[in-house]
């Protein structure tokens, strides 16, 4: 999925404002002026037009929720195609004007955060917005459902890269289809590990690099992404250059042979299973023979890691949450 565009569409796709099909005999596109759903759309548009406070930078959550509602009533693909939509041209035009106004504010906010990062400053606005959005993130969503939310939209707006065309990405039989770790779990990982400048986080199967980038930006710890797909590594490195980061790097390497000697904390969002996972866990066990390490897991690989006798879980292992394991001394 494209991180800067499609991720937002996935976020918007979980809207709680269902739009039902028209009744028999009604036009497929335009609702009659007296239809209850049309009345609801008109009230929503009037409310959003009257709420000037939505332009205030600290109203990010409210803007994102408003955009969710707009996207439910006025889908972007339909408006982009120039159609009248369900509620006619005039109401569609007003909806587009509101959406554009809110997106301009969000784009300015994301640009300001990027400039903080590029200047090597602590991204206070990112952390503030992240804490605010994390307050309502659902950490209990199952791993299979992924559950991207508004925090992912914030990250998508700030991190300046695109995923390469999927058709160009090759995969081994035991490797998993790539999806970024939901941002709320990355923030949870940072909270659980309390990373410092003395730590090095190694993300095994880093994809586009969301985890190493956020960890480096938000904590000051050094981060390394190990990724087998060269196209993903190229995109992640371009993001590093764009943000002027010097504490994060990406290595194009097979995790079974990559240099893991600098890592103090390792992250796996189930990049692979079977013999590949077994081989990587064997390598991590050897790394733990001369120093204490921590392994953070998310997804279906968690029960496999929990079965390793040389590791102790810091809480009950749960594939739907970040689980932290420490090597036994």
**Residue 246 token pair:** 């010097």
- Residue 309 belongs to some domain of the structure: yes
Residue 117: burial class (beta carbons within 10 Å; 0-12, 13-18, 19+): buried
Q: Are residues 188 and 298 in the same domain?
A: yes
Over residues 289-293, mean pLDDT: 95
Side-chain-facing half-sphere of 200: CA atoms under 13 Å: 16
299 with 232, same domain: the answer is: yes
Tell me the HSE value of 97 on the side-chain side, using a 13 A CA sphere.
11
Backbone angles phi, psi at 245, to 5 degrees: -90, 140
Last residue of a domain, one of 65, 85, 118: 118
pLDDT grade for 168, boundaries at 50, 70 and 90: low
What's the rounded Cα separation, in Å, for the pair 93 and 308? 58
Whether residues 302 and 183 fall in one domain: yes
In a domain, 266, yes or no: yes
Q: Which two three-digit tokens encode residue 237?
A: 């490195």
Which of 65, 91, 118 delimits the end of a domain?
Answer: 118
Q: Is 251 domain-assigned?
A: yes
The pLDDT mean for the chain works out to 84
Question: In the predicted model, what is the mean pLDDT of residues 136-147?
Answer: 51
The tally of CA atoms less than 13 A away on the side-chain side of residue 136 is 10
pLDDT at 32: 52
For residue 137, the model assigns a pLDDT of 52
List all residues 6 or more positions away from 317 whose beta carbon is below 8 Å from its beta carbon. Answer: 297, 302, 303, 305, 306, 323
What is the domain range of residue 202?
Answer: 159-327
Measured distance CA(204)–CA(277) in Å, rounded? 10
Structure-token match 């937002």, residue found: 8
Q: Which residue is associated with the tokens 């009257």?
A: 50
Q: How far apart are CA 82 and CA 286, in angstroms?
A: 60
pLDDT at residue 322 is higher than 80: yes
Please tell me whether residues 223 and 302 are part of one structural domain. yes
Residue 107 and residue 227 share a domain: no
- Residue ending a domain, among 118, 143, 169, is 118
The verdict on 229 and 322 lying in the same domain is yes
Which of 72, 83, 19 has its CA nearest to residue 45? 72
pLDDT at position 26 is 45
The values of phi and psi at residue 265, to 5°, are -130, 135
What total of structural domains would you count in the chain?
2
pLDDT tens readout for residues 53-90:
999 988 999 999 999 999 998 887 655 545 556 677 88
As a whole number, mean pLDDT of residues 246-250 equals 96
Does 146 reside within a domain?
Answer: no
pLDDT at 167: 46
* Same-domain check for residues 224 and 297: yes
Q: Is 321 exposed, middle or buried (0-12, 13-18, 19+ CB in 10 A)?
A: buried
Joined together, the tokens standing for residue 44 give 């929503």
Average pLDDT on 130-147 reads 62
Q: Let me know: does 185 contact 164? Beta carbons within 8 Å.
A: no
Joined together, the tokens standing for residue 241 give 């250059």
**Angle (deg, nearest 10), helices 60-73 and 124-134:** 60
Domain identity same for 250 and 180:
yes
**Res. 37: pLDDT tops 60:** yes
Percent of the chain with pLDDT over 90: 64
pLDDT at residue 146, rounded to an integer: 61
Whole-number pLDDT of residue 172: 66
What b/e readout covers 135-173, taking b as 16+ CB neighbours within 10 angstroms?
eebeeebebeebbbbbbbbbbbbbbbbebbeeeeeeeee
Q: Are 163 and 106 members of one domain? A: no
Res 269: pLDDT:
95
Does residue 138 sit within a domain? no
Q: Any idea which of 133-147, 167-181, 281-295 has the lowest mean pLDDT?
A: 133-147
Percent of the chain scoring above 70 in pLDDT: 80
Average pLDDT, stretch 32-45? 78
Higher-confidence position of 78 and 307: 307
CA 262/CA 226 separation, integer angstroms? 12
Tell me, yes or no, whether 284 lies in a domain.
yes
Q: Compute and round to an integer the Cα radius of gyration of the chain.
A: 22
Both structure tokens of 11: 């976020």
User: What is the average per-residue pLDDT within 302-319?
Assistant: 96
What pLDDT score does 1 carry? Answer: 36
CATH number at residue 182: 3.40.50.150
200: confidence class by pLDDT, cuts 50, 70, 90: very high
Same domain? 181 vs 260: yes
pLDDT greater than 60 at residue 202:
yes
**Do 322 and 186 belong together in one domain?**
yes
239, part of any domain: yes
Residue 217 lies in a domain: yes
- Same domain as 201, residue 72: no
Mean pLDDT of 242-248: 95
């Amino acid at each position: 999925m494209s991180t800067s565009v499609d991720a937002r569409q996935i976020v918007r796709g979980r809207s709680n404002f269902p739009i039902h099909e028209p009744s028999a005999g009604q036009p497929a596109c335009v609702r009659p002026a007296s239809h209850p759903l049309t009345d609801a759309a008109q009230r929503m548009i009037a409310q959003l037009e009257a709420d000037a406070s939505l332009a205030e930078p600290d109203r990010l959550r409210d803007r994102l929720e408003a955009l969710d509602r707009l996207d439910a009533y006025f889908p972007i693909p339909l408006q982009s195609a120039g159609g009248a939509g369900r509620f006619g041209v005039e109401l569609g035009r007003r909806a587009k004007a509101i959406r554009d106004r809110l997106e301009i504010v969000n784009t300015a906010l994301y640009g300001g955060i990027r400039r903080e990062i590029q200047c090597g400053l602590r991204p206070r606005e990112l952390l503030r917005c992240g804490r605010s959005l994390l307050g309502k993130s659902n950490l209990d969503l199952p791993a299979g459902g992924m559950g991207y939310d508004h925090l992912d939209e914030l990250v998508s707006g700030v991190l300046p890269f695109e995923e390469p065309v999927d058709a160009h990405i090759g995969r081994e039989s035991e490797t998993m289809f790539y999806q970024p770790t939901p941002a709320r779990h990355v923030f949870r990982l940072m909270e659980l590990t309390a990373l410092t400048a003395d730590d090095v986080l190694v993300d095994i199967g880093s994809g586009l690099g969301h985890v190493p980038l956020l960890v480096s930006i938000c904590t000051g710890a050094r981060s390394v992404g190990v990724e087998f797909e060269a196209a993903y590594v190229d995109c992640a490195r371009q993001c590093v250059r764009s943000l002027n980061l010097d504490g994060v790097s990406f290595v194009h390497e097979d995790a079974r042979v990559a240099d893991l000697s600098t890592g103090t904390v390792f992250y796996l969002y189930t990049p692979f299973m079977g013999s590949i996972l077994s081989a990587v866990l064997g390598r991590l066990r050897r790394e733990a023979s001369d120093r204490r390490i921590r392994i953070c897991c998310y997804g279906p690989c968690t029960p496999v890691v929990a079965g390793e006798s040389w590791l102790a879980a810091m809480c009950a292992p749960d594939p739907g949450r970040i689980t932290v394991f420490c090597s036994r001394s």
